[in-house]
Amino acid sequence: MAGGATMTNDEIIQQVLKFEGGYTNHPNDHGGATNFGITAVEYGAFLKLGRDATPAEVEAMSQANAIAIYQTKNLTAPNFISVADGNLRMILVDCGVLYGTGMAARWLPKAVGVTADGAVGLLAYA
């Protein structure tokens, strides 16, 4: 990102993975078993198990599956992929990981002074 270059989607996901870390299953963490920042609930849904993934399944999660989940859940589904500036897209993805993509989608328009409708439009924030 030297010289003000904008981040690519791959760079964004790599940053998320870098800071979300590896496997944890702390009893005081309401998310339960988590790997790459992805919970057992999210991983079970991704695998179409009809249940939460087990701690062993979460621990065995591949980085490729984590990338696919972040690509879908935090870029494509909330339409953050339509934000032309990669650095702004990184902020949205990061906020989405930490607070939920719906919250991130509401904060962006509020930050730029437009009506927040909870959606990021195809041509928004180009």
User: What are the pLDDT digits (tens) for 31-74?
Assistant: 899 999 999 999 999 999 999 999 999 999 999 999 999 999 99
6-112 CATH fold: Chitosanase, subunit A; domain 1 (1.20.141)
Q: Could you give the CA distance from residue 21 to residue 31 in angstroms, rounded to a whole number?
A: 14
Where are the chain's structural domains?
A: 6-112
Burial class (CB in 10 A: 0-12, 13-18, 19+), 118: exposed
Element (H, E) at 90: helix 86-99
pTM here?
0.81
Angle among Cα 95, 97, 92 to the nearest 5 degrees reads: 35
